[in-house]
Structure 1
Amino acid sequence: MLMLLFYINNQRYALACQQVVEVLPLVSLNTLPHAPEYFSGVFNYRGKVIPVLDLCQLMHNKPCSQYLSSRIILVKYWGGNAANSSVVGLMTERVVETLHKSDSQLVDANLQIGAAPYLGKIILDEQGMIQCLRIEYLLSECEQVFRRC
């Protein structure tokens, strides 16, 4: 499985590339009044209005730093209905590489954190741990914001 690797607060995270539509540089976003802090805004992507979440703010209560390698990762989101898919932007820091890992190399930590159901399996390598994210759970928490966009 091909994984996209990025950092939040010097911790490594990964997304399965089959969920990724495109990786974009940071673009100018239109902010919306009364939106939660983790909601960075919206932008026009090929004629569609795309909501963008700041993963750093959502997960660690700190806005993403604007490094040269900070990016918006466009991901597919089904919202529990495969017939009604949409694209959502995830802003994060240091989107730097991809890696290949087989399913057998993903370790289940058998931890369930009620406030963070989006934390999936873990990849172990020579540099430490990489936390995999489960987009379907991450975005389900924010779905009400998307409906307002």
Structure 2
Amino acid sequence: MSEVTAKRSVAPVTRQALFLLFRIGEERYALRATEVAEVLPRLPLKPIARAPHWVAGVFAYRGVVVPVIDLSALTFGRTAEARTSTRLVLVHYRPDEAQPARKLGLILEQATDTLRCNADEFQPYGLDNRQAPYLGPVREDARGLVQWVRVADLLDDSVRALLFPTPPLDPARLEEAP
């Protein structure tokens, strides 16, 4: 065995993860790529009456109606800017391991770059932000901080019940007289 091969076999293996980077205003955020199903251009949405302002609407995706939230509006109360880099990102939303993953759309600004790093490089930022439990740990690099967004924690119980009713609504029952 050569000396180079011997050194490679002794070197510790760091497990790197891939993240999709995006911005909310000037701030950088990241989604774990394993949670991303597909990145689409921004599409027209059907609004949902009486939903929170950050629920952008729904759209049909391969025969399934998918709810979409505007992460900028959810986080800071401002709708995402309509830029050429603003994307509709489909994620695997699974708040509970007992439930199957469902598709959820996220409107994200400047969702065009990725980051490959060790997930352990993200560290707690020292605040207990119960109003935004989806905002996870942060990682510092040459351009500042990037914060990990946890998909499973995006929706509270009331919005989850609105967007993903359990059991799903039966269209046949809609025609029944009240």
Fold shared, TM-score > 0.5 on shorter chain: yes
Secondary structure of the equivalent of 1:139? coil
Structure ranking higher on relative contact order (CA contacts 8 Å, 6+ apart): 1
Three-state SS of the structure 2 residue aligned to 1:31 is coil
Q: Is 1:16 aligned to 2:32, yes or no? A: yes
Counterpart residue identity of residue 88, structure 1: L
The residue number in structure 1 matching 2:124 is 108
Matched residue type, 1:91: I
Contact map agreement 1:5 1:96 (CA 8 A) in 2: yes
Q: How many residues align?
A: 149
Which residue of structure 1 aligns with residue 160 of structure 2? 143
The CA distance in 1 between the partners of 2:23 and 2:73, in whole Å, is: 13
Alignment counterpart, residue 57 of structure 1, candidates 73, 77, 89: 73
Give the deviation of 1:107 after TM superposition.
Answer: 1.7
Deviation of 1:82 after TM superposition, in Å, equals: 4.1
Structure 2, unaligned runs of 5 or more: 1-16, 170-178
Return the alpha-carbon distance in structure 2 between the equivalents of residues 102 and 22 of structure 1.
22
Percent identity between the aligned chains? 35
**Other structure's SS at 2:120 match:** helix
Secondary structure, counterpart of 1:58 in structure 2 = helix
Q: 1:108: how far off?
A: 2.1
Q: Which 10-residue stretch deviates more, 39-48 or 74-83?
A: 74-83
Tell me how far 1:80 sits from its aligned partner.
Answer: 1.2
Would the aligned equivalents of 1:77 and 1:139 in 2 still touch at CA under 8 Å?
no
Amino acid across the alignment from 1:34: R
Change in Cα spacing, 1:76 to 1:147, as seen in structure 2 (3 Å) is same
Q: Report the Cα offset of residue 147 of structure 1.
A: 2.6
For residues 92-112 of structure 1, the C-alpha deviation after alignment (integer angstroms, 9 at most, x for no partner) is 111120010102322222322
After superposition, the C-alpha distances for 1:105-143 in whole angstroms (9 at most, x for unaligned) are 222223221111111111110010001111111134531
Show the counterpart of 1:44: 60
Match of 1:32 in 2: 48
Do residues 78 (structure 1) and 94 (structure 2) align? yes
> What's the TM-score, normalizing by structure 1?
0.93
CA distance in 2 between counterparts of 1:136 and 1:38 reads 17
Match of 2:8 in 1: none
* Distance in 2 of aligned mates of 1:14 and 1:80: 21
Gaps of 5+ in 1: none
Q: Which has the larger radius of gyration?
A: 2
